Amino acid sequence: MAERKTIVGGNWKMNTNRAEASDLAGAVSEGFTNGDQADVFVCPPFPYLIPVAERLSANNGNLVQLGAQNFYHEPNGAFTGEVSLAMLQDLGVSTVLTGHSERRHVIGETDVLINEKTLAALEAGLQVVLCIGETLEQREAGKTNFVNAAQLSYGLAGVTAEQMADVVIAYEPVWAIGTGKTATPEDAQKAHQFIREVLTHGMFNETVGQSVRIQYGGSMKPANAKELLSQPDIDGGLIGGAALKADDFLAIVNAG
C-alpha cells in the first residue's frame, strides 16, 4: 500500500467576520509547525481571503495553505458575482473545493458544472478537493456505492492519470451531517475502500488508486478523529464545524 500523507482541510463555510477569520488563521498557523506530519489548508469566506492569507504568510511561511470554497470555471468575463481562478491564485490560493454537498444540494450545481470546474482548476495548476457522497434517501435505498461511483465518474471525466496527483477526494456522507445519524468508522472505511477500488480498477490504475488521498467529510471531531484516521483508507478530513475553533482543528490534525 502506498504511503499517503495525511491531509486536513478546514472549510469555514459562511462563518466568521474579518477579525475572527484573521485570529483563527493566526491561531491555526501558529499551532501547526510540523509540515512533515500533514498537509493542512483552510478555506475562509471570500471577503476574508486577503487577511487570512496575510496571517498564514506571517506564521511559518504558509505552512498552512490557503484554500477557496468556490470559483467559476471561465477565465474572465460577464459573470456577475463570480470569482475566477486567476483572481484566487493572485491572492495565494493553492487548493479549491469542487462538488461540495452544499453546492450540489443547496445551490444546485450539476455534475457537468462540477466537472468543468474540476478540469479548469487542474489546468490552472491548483490542487482540487472533489467532494462526493450520498444523501440519507440514497443510502436507505441502497445506492451508496452507485452514487459515489457516479459522482467520481462525472467529476473526474477527462482528468488524466497525471493530473490525479493534484486531486484529493473528500467523501461526505450527507446523511450523517445534521441528521442525528452517525457514520461509524466502519461505515466510513467501507465507503473509502470502495472509492479507492473504483479509482484503481474502474477509472485509472493501481498507482493512481493507491496514491490518491481520500478525506472523510462527515462531522469529524477531536473525539472521533483518531479512530477515523486510523482506518486504512481514510487519509485525512475535510472539517466544517470543528474547523472554527483552532484548538479543535489542531487536535484533529494531531490525531493523524
CA distance 56 to 40: 11
Helices and strands per DSSP (H, E), number in the chain: 11, 8
Catalytic residue among 102, 116, 134, 172: 172
Catalytic residue among 100, 109, 134, 192: 100
CB 226 within 8 A of CB 234: no
Residue 230 annotated as binding site: no
136, burial (CB in 10 Å: exposed 0-12, middle 13-18, buried 19+): middle
Could you tell me how far CA 11 lies from the centroid of its own chain? 8
CB 101 within 8 A of CB 174: yes
Query: What cell was used for 6?
Result: 495525511
CA distance 69 to 50: 14
Residue 178 annotated as binding site: yes
Residue 175 annotated as binding site: no
CB neighbours (10 Å) of residue 229? Answer: 21
Residue 11 annotated as binding site: yes
Which helix (H) or strand (E) segment holds residue 43: the answer is strand 38-43
Question: Could you identify the residue written with the cell 473509502?
Answer: 192
Q: Is 73 a catalytic residue?
A: no
Q: Is 192 a catalytic residue?
A: no
CA distance 183 to 220: 10
Please state the residue numbers annotated as binding site for substrate: 11-13, 178, 219, 240-241
Please state the residue numbers annotated as binding site: 11-13, 178, 219, 240-241
**Catalytic positions:** 100, 172
